[in-house]
Amino acid sequence: MSERKLFVVTLAAIIVIIVLLSSFTYLVVCFRESSRKILSVSSGRTYNSTLIRNFSFDSVLLGTSLSQGFKCSEFDAAFGGKSIKLSSSGANFAEMDEFLKFAVKHKKIKRAMLDVVVQFCAMEQTLKDFPAEYYSENLFKVRLNKAISINGVLDELDFFRDMVRGKVKYTTRDALYDWNRKHSCSEKIFAQSILYQPHINYLTQGNNCEKAYENTQKVLLPIIKAHANIEFIIFFPPVSIMNYQGEDYSKYITLKGRIIDLLLTCSNVKLYDFETALHITTDFNNYKDRIHYSGKINSWMLKEMSKDNYRITAQSKQQALDKLLNALNSFDYRKECERLKTLYQKKR
C-alpha cells in the first residue's frame, strides 16, 4: 500500500472512531441527562443545569460550600415550598446570578437563599470557570458539547462503566453536594488545619475593602433588584472566630456595616447575621478549618431563621456590629493558638 493510501485509510479510520465514540457518548449523555434520579456529583457548576431542567422546585439554595450542608427538607419545613440546592464551592456572585437566571427561565421561583462571607466579597466576579455551554436553551447543543469534549467523553465513559457494573451513585436533595459526608469536624481537625495551613487576610491586601463593597453594590445588589418578586434570604455565616485573625477589626466592622446598609435597601431581602453566634464561632468542635462548619450548624441556622432570630434590621444593625467588634477585641488569638499547639501539634 502506498504512503498516500495508508494516510487516507488511517485518517478515515480515525474519523470513523471519533464519530462512533462521539455518537456513543452522546447517547450516554442523553440517558444521564434525562434521569429522574439525582446523581451523586461534586460540581454544582456542571450539574446544576440538569437539576434545573429535570426537577420541580420553587426555592433555590445558592451560595458557596458554606451552604452545601443545608438539607432541602429542613429548608422546606422552615419556609414552605420545595427547594433544590444550587450551591457550588467557591461560587462568586456572578456565578450565582447565572444559576438563578437559568432557574427563573425554567421554574417559578419564590425564594432564594445564599451566604455572604464579607472577606470573600472581594473575589473576582468573573465567569472564567463557569461552563456557560451547559446552560444553553438548545438541549441538543448542550449534549453535543458534552459528547465531543475530551473531559465530557471521559466522564461519560466513566458513567457508562459504572452503569454496567451497577455502581452509579445516586443521592437525595438533602445529601446533594454535602461535603460533610466525607469530612468530619472536631477541635483536633480544626487545630491541625489552622496550625499547618497559611492564613490569608483578604481585607488587608491592597484595596480589597473597597473591592468587596463595589462587588456587593455592582454585582449582588443588581441580582436582587432584577428579581423583585423573589424573596432573598441572605445570611452572614458563622465562620470561626479564628478567621478574623490578623484583620483590622474596625475596618472589617465598618465594611460589614456598609454592606448591610446596601442589602437593607432591598425590600425583598431578609438578612441574618450568624457571625454574632459566639457560642458557635468559639467552639472549634464545630469546624474542620477556619470557615467550614458541620452540617448540624446549617440545621441550627434554619431553625433560627424560621423563628426570625439573628435577623438584622436598620434598628438592630449597630447592636450586632458592636457585639461582634467587642468579641473580636476581647478574643486572645495568641493564647488560643498556644492552647491548640499544646494539645494537637504533631510531634516530629
pLDDT digits (tens, 9 = 90+) for 255-302: 999 999 999 999 999 999 999 999 999 999 999 999 999 999 999 999
pLDDT of 107 strictly over 60: yes
Query: Where residue 344 falls among pLDDT bands split at 50, 70, 90?
Result: confident
Computed over its alpha carbons, how large is the radius of gyration of the chain? 23
Torsional class of 81: left (φ above 0), alpha (ψ -120 to 50), beta (otherwise): left
What pLDDT score does 163 carry? 67
pLDDT reading at 153 higher than 60: yes
**Spatial CA neighbour of 291 closest among 343, 236, 219, 338:** 236
**pLDDT single digits (tens) 317-339:** 999 999 999 999 999 988 998 99
Whether 14 is in a domain gets the answer no
Q: Is residue 242 part of a domain?
A: yes
Q: Report the alpha-carbon angle 184-188-191, nearest 5.
A: 110
Is residue 109 in a domain?
A: yes
Nearest CA among 139, 143, 158, 133 for reference residue 27? 143
**Residues listed for the chain:** 348
Task: Tell me, yes or no, whether 228 lies in a domain.
Answer: yes
| pLDDT given for residue 76 in this prediction | 97
The whole-number pLDDT of residue 31 equals 65
The confidence score (pLDDT) of residue 346 equals 66
Range list of β-strands (E), the chain: 38-39, 59-61, 83-85, 111-115, 170-171, 231-236, 269-273, 311-312
pLDDT for res 137: 84
On whether residue 194 sits in a domain, the answer given is yes
Confirm whether 302 is domain-assigned.
Answer: yes
Q: Is the pLDDT of residue 160 over 70?
A: no
Residue 204's pLDDT is 64
214-233: average pLDDT: 96
pLDDT higher than threshold 90 for residue 347: no
pLDDT for the residue 300: 98
Calculate what percentage of the chain has a pLDDT beyond 70.
89
Instruction: Tell me what pLDDT residue 123 has.
Output: 87
* Residue 3 lies inside a defined structural domain of this protein: no
The answer to whether residues 297 and 238 touch, using CB atoms and an 8 Å cutoff, is yes
Answer yes or no: is 209 within a domain. yes
pLDDT at 2: 73
* Cell numbers describing residue 114: 445564599
What was the pLDDT predicted at 247?
A: 80
The three-state DSSP-derived secondary structure of 256-292 is HHHHHHHHCCCCCEEEEECCCCHHHHCCHHHECCCCC
315: pLDDT strictly greater than 80: yes
pLDDT of residue 141: 74
Structural domain containing residue 181: 56-134+176-344
The answer to whether residues 145 and 11 touch, using CB atoms and an 8 Å cutoff, is no
pLDDT digits (tens, 9 = 90+) for 235-267: 999 999 999 887 888 889 999 999 999 999 999
Name the residue among 313, 314, 309, 238 with its Cα closest to residue 278. 238
Distances (CA, A) of 179 to 175, 176, 183, 185: 9, 9, 6, 11
Q: Give the number of domains in the chain.
A: 1
Question: What is the per-residue pLDDT across 52-106, written as a single tens digit (0 to 9) for each?
Answer: 998 999 999 999 999 999 999 999 999 999 999 999 998 999 999 999 999 999 9
- Confidence at residue 180, expressed as pLDDT on a 0 to 100 scale: 86
Query: CATH number, domain at 198?
Result: 3.40.50.1110
- pLDDT tens digits for range 180-201: 888 899 999 999 988 877 666 6
Q: How confident is the model at residue 30 (pLDDT cuts 50, 70, 90)?
A: low
Burial pattern 206-216, b for ≥16 Cβ within 10 A else e, equals eebbebbbebb
